[in-house]
Amino acid sequence: MAKEFELNEVEVWDGNYAASQALRQAQIDVVAAYPITPSTPIVEGYGAYVANGYVDGEFVMVESEHGAMSGCVGAAAAGGRVATATSSQGFALMTEVLYQASGMRLPIVMTVVNRALASPLNVRGDHSDMYLGRDSGWIQIDAFNAQEAYDLALCAFRIGEHLDVRLPVMMHQDGFTTSHKAQNVYPLKDSIAYEFIGKYIPVDDMLDFSRPVTHGAQTEEDWHYEHKAKQHKALMDSRTVIDDVFADFKELTGREYKRVESYMMEDAEVALVLLGSSVETAVLAAKQLREEEGLKVGVVAPRCFRPFPYDLVRDALDVSSLKAVCCLDKSAPGGAMGALFNEVSAAAYSTKARPMMTNYVYGLGGRDFAVDEAKRIMKEQKAHADAGHITTDIQQFSGLRGPKLGFFKTRRD
């Protein structure tokens, strides 16, 4: 029997510790992990809970991140509640097995502490690994601070394990900016947290010998297409479940989460769209510009990156006053417009407002994104709105040293 772990009404936790506490409270059967900066404290903390008798689950140290996700797949297929954590290159090494987990409909929960991908080697936070996983069939939920890293990890178990979903879930937080920054966190008592998540119900587990099943079957063209279509439908149908879980969490705690967070958009003329801890920076910048200069600025932040909430993004941007929108991508675009830009532009295309769309790449390798820079970009969007056309290159790099680099330029006939 696991020992009780006493918690005060408010704790000072960083994002990693917050995530590790959520894993402990979920009463996981197996955590298979290979530590990597900056996510190491999550699995390190869980290992300590096992060693000190605070949990009854198993902590399995493996030889690599590929082995970690393989261990998670095996444990989940056997009928256990399973979780892990990783970052960056470790995430990349897991990629092959991510598709196995989603294709087998295994509700594994993985905390991804976002970090840049090499080369050159970098341990600081950007969204390269988040973007790498966007087509792997996992649900992806994004936390903006330590409190959310805790809350959304609890929600992730209930979402993924829902009988109408049964899919793995990634809970993202920004490396170092969130994972290592201490903030006030209001945790739930152990019994309340576990009651919210609920008892794990195995589905099609390999150890149920009364009903034999096959995992990892080969289908080829005869059934592969139908299998992937059904998997996609489950992913899209998870939107309703996510909304319901968020509503239940609000009723329990008073803390409200939405698949798309919208700030000051009711009368906005210009807006920024972005992810992660930078959202709080952008919101502060927008508030200051409204108070100091009267600029009507808003912020839209997709919290659920997969399934991508096209309809909610469209609704957030369907504001009659809106003239210009800038999407900020915290990942190297790899010879294209940013991934967030492309998806938000597709959503904005069907709005009546049809705002001008521009793209900033920012924060690569952990480069700081300050309030003043957010204000500068917002003012630039106001210049586009006033001129009635885009006055700069469509894609720019924010905070880049050296000469300005222009790749996707505007064309005015």
Same domain? 121 vs 232: yes
The enclosing domain of 110 has a CATH number of 3.40.50.970
Same domain? 270 vs 287: yes
Residue 62 belongs to a domain? yes
Residue 315 belongs to a domain? yes
CB 156 within 8 A of CB 26: no
Residue 411 belongs to a domain? no
CB 306 within 8 A of CB 142: no
Q: How high is the pLDDT of residue 9?
A: 87
| CB count in 10 Å sphere of residue 7 | 16
HEC string of 226-288?
A: HHHHHHHHHHHHHHHHHHHHHHHHHHHHCCCCCCEEEECCCCCCEEEECCCCHHHHHHHHHHH
Which element (helix H / strand E) includes 153? helix 146-161
Residue 153 Rama label (left phi>0; alpha psi -120 to 50; beta): alpha
Same domain? 287 vs 311: yes
Residue 149 belongs to a domain? yes
Same domain? 279 vs 215: no
CB 193 within 8 A of CB 53: no
What would the two tokens of residue 94 be? Answer: 């897991």
Query: What is the 8-class DSSP label of residue 162?
Result: S
- Its domain, for residue 281, covers 260-397
Same domain? 88 vs 131: yes
Residue 46 belongs to a domain? yes
Residue 404 belongs to a domain? no
Same domain? 83 vs 156: yes
Same domain? 231 vs 267: no
Residue 382 belongs to a domain? yes
Q: Pick from 253, 275, 294: which residue ends a domain?
A: 253
Task: Dump strand ranges (E) for 289-399.
Answer: 297-302, 304-306, 324-329, 356-361, 395-397
Tell me the C-alpha distance between 150 and 366, whole Å: 22
Q: How high is the pLDDT of residue 5?
A: 63
Same domain? 143 vs 174: yes
Tens-of-pLDDT digits for all 413 residues of the chain? 566 666 668 999 999 999 999 999 999 999 999 999 999 999 999 999 999 999 999 999 999 999 999 999 999 999 999 999 999 999 999 999 999 999 999 999 999 999 999 999 999 999 999 999 999 999 999 999 999 999 999 999 999 999 999 999 999 999 999 999 999 999 999 999 999 999 999 999 998 889 999 888 899 999 999 999 999 999 999 999 999 999 999 999 999 999 999 999 999 999 999 999 999 999 999 999 999 999 999 999 999 999 999 999 999 999 999 999 999 999 999 999 999 999 999 999 999 989 999 999 999 999 999 999 999 999 999 999 999 999 999 999 999 998 877 788 886 54
Same domain? 90 vs 233: yes
Tell me the C-alpha distance between 92 and 63, whole Å: 15
Q: How high is the pLDDT of residue 7?
A: 64
Q: Pick from 253, 273, 305: which residue ends a domain?
A: 253
pTM of the model: 0.96
Total number of domains constituting the chain? 2
Q: How high is the pLDDT of residue 368?
A: 96
Same domain? 267 vs 143: no
In angstroms, the Cα distances linking 152 to 5, 138, 168, 305, 350 are: 20, 15, 14, 13, 30
The enclosing domain of 273 has a CATH number of 3.40.50.920
Same domain? 27 vs 106: yes
Same domain? 133 vs 227: yes
CB 394 within 8 A of CB 359: yes
Tell me the C-alpha distance between 60 and 84, whole Å: 10
Residue 94 belongs to a domain? yes
Sheet arrangement for strand 260-263 = 260-263, 297-302, 270-273, 324-329, 356-361, 395-397
Three-state SS at 10: coil
